[in-house]
Amino acid sequence: MTVRTRIAPSPTGDPHVGTAYIALFNLAFARSQGGKFILRIEDTDQTRSTSASEQTILDSLRWLGLDWDEGPDVGGEYGPYRQSERRDIYTKYAQQLLADGHAFRCYLSREELDTIRNQRREQGLPAAMQQDALALPADEQLRREQAELPFVIRMKIPTSGTCVFEDMLRGKIEIEWSMVDAQILLKSDGMPTYHLANVVDDHLMKISHVLRGEEWINSAPKHQLLYKYFNWKMPVLCHMPLLRNPDKSKLSKRKNPTSILYYQRMGFLPEGLLNYLARMGWSMPDEREKFSRAEMFDNFDIKRVSLGGPIFDQTKLSWLNGLWLRENLNTAEFAQAYQKWALNPEYLMKIIPLIQQRVDTFSDVAPLANFFLAGMLDLDETDFKHKSLEIMDIRKILQFSAWQLDSHTQWDKDALYTCLQQLADHMQLKIRELLFPLFVAISGSSQSVSIMDSMAILGPDMSRARVRHALNILGSPSKKENKRWDKEYQALNSQH
């Protein structure tokens, strides 16, 4: 059997370090077995998927050296590799399941589903709703069919017993069927859900091993059942441990930068970041910390993955990256790599328009632009001195802005302006007052170039990290304060 693994990112945001982590282990496994590694874009969620996100995911994975043998941009025997281009394939298989009696048309409205859900809760029944719970009386089902009302296609689930499946790292996993819902396979717009598209594609693309994050364990029973319904062989499953914040919670952008673009902007070498990701739950036989991609692949054994949640720690990552920077580049290579990182035309073309009108000589540029080439800024309380705002007000503005920016996804200048203007209105502050601490947090000075442009250039994770960093310097809110502010912030948002 030829080993074929894949990474299947959904292009719905910034490229996540977790995606690179899973891609790395899929690639390492494939390479260590003489197999192939495939990249497939799972863009069935048409409301959230964007081609810009797809492009940054491809660019970031490639920057890290995680090259794929088949994919939307390189082609291959089993394409197309973008799910939105495979719609007809999924419809055909959904129809087949209907014809074989393994799936059913569900005409329930959102309100009807809510009612059933609430009734089940009151009766103490499991939350998972299966075909019996979702069935309409036969005549009503027929009426809705004849009236051609919108419907979804759901899969049928065994109503009793236990699903047992094997995981390469975890051995046998058992999940009661009563916990599994009659999953939607095809939405009313004709688009498949992740579950159907994923199983169909893994089969048609001849994927032999699925290495993915442990958050997918609960989906495995549905997938196993679909393979059974189609009479297909299921790939070997391997659920990797999730990356964690230092406080052991799931790695999240609210606490830790998660975007690969952030690590690029911070000035990490791809070799350093990749080496660190390889150390997440995996070790070399001799336990050495610094090793290259090739060394990892030569020594790869999936059994060396340990299941304790690996902590993604910025300090450790910086330390490891430092070794790569100091030991693996000679002076000329360092100079060249630095030039590519800092002084490349693409980046300069974003910065110069903000600077040019404010300078008399080139020597004026660096002092104005240095925060574009920095990581966390060297600030202290005096930098935040303001004529009317107290430090307490400033801390609150920073915390509220951090929350506001956390939930903000559209990261261009105008959208950022609207988002912060709204917050200023809610807090009954002038926009200039609200922006003062942000200017300092983002650029190090209240006199800097346009802050919205700067945030747009620095990107979401770097901007958020700087706001959090400023807050740390001034004193993060205590537990009590946090609770009070959170309540106030929620109230502000719900009023409007």
Residue (212 or 396) nearer to ligand GLU, CB: 212
Q: Which stretch binds ligand GLU (CB under 6 A): 7-15, 184-192, 374-382, 454-462?
A: 7-15
Q: Which is nearer to ligand GLU, 202 or 271 (CB)?
A: 202
Q: Contact with ligand GLU (CB under 6 A): which of 198, 256, 321, 463?
A: 198
CB of 117 to ligand GLU, least distance (A): 25
Residues 208-227 as x/- pattern, contact with ligand GLU by CB under 6 A: ----x---x-----------
Other residues' Cβ atoms within 10 Å of the Cβ of residue 405: 20
Residues 363-383: b if buried by 16+ CB within 10 A, e if exposed? eebeebbebbebbebebeeeb
Say whether 36 is catalytic.
no
> CA 30 to CA 36: how far, in whole Å?
6
What angle do the packed helices 431-443 and 391-406 form, to 10 degrees?
80
- Report the residue from 4, 5, 10, 205 that binds ligand GLU according to the rule CB under 6 A: 10
Three-state SS for 252?
A: coil
- Three-class SS of residue 178? helix
Q: What is the 3-state secondary structure (H, E, C) of 467-495?
A: HHHHHHHHCCCCHHHHHHHHHHHHHHHHH
Binding of ligand GLU by 9 (CB under 6 A)? yes
As measured in angstroms, the least distance from the Cβ of 10 to ligand GLU is 4
Phi and psi dihedrals of 157, rounded to 5? -125, 140
User: How many residues contact ligand GLU, by CB under 6 A?
Assistant: 8
Q: How far is the CB of 215 from ligand GLU (least distance, A)?
A: 8
Residue numbers 18-47 binding ligand GLU by CB under 6 A: 42
CB of 53 to ligand GLU, least distance (A): 11
| Binding track over 259-298 against ligand GLU, x by CB under 6 A | ----------------------------------------
Cα–Cα separations (whole angstroms), residue 201 to 8, 30, 38, 81, 314:
10, 18, 11, 9, 36
Q: Which is nearer to ligand GLU, 173 or 284 (CB)?
A: 173
Catalytic residue, from 187, 253, 290, 413: name it: 253
User: Which DSSP state fits 362?
Assistant: G
Written as one string, the DSSP assignment of 109-149 is: -HHHHHHHHHHHHHTT--S---HHHHPPPHHHHHHHHHTT-
Given the rule CB under 6 A, which residues bind ligand GLU?
8-10, 42, 194, 198, 212, 216
The set of catalytic residues is 253
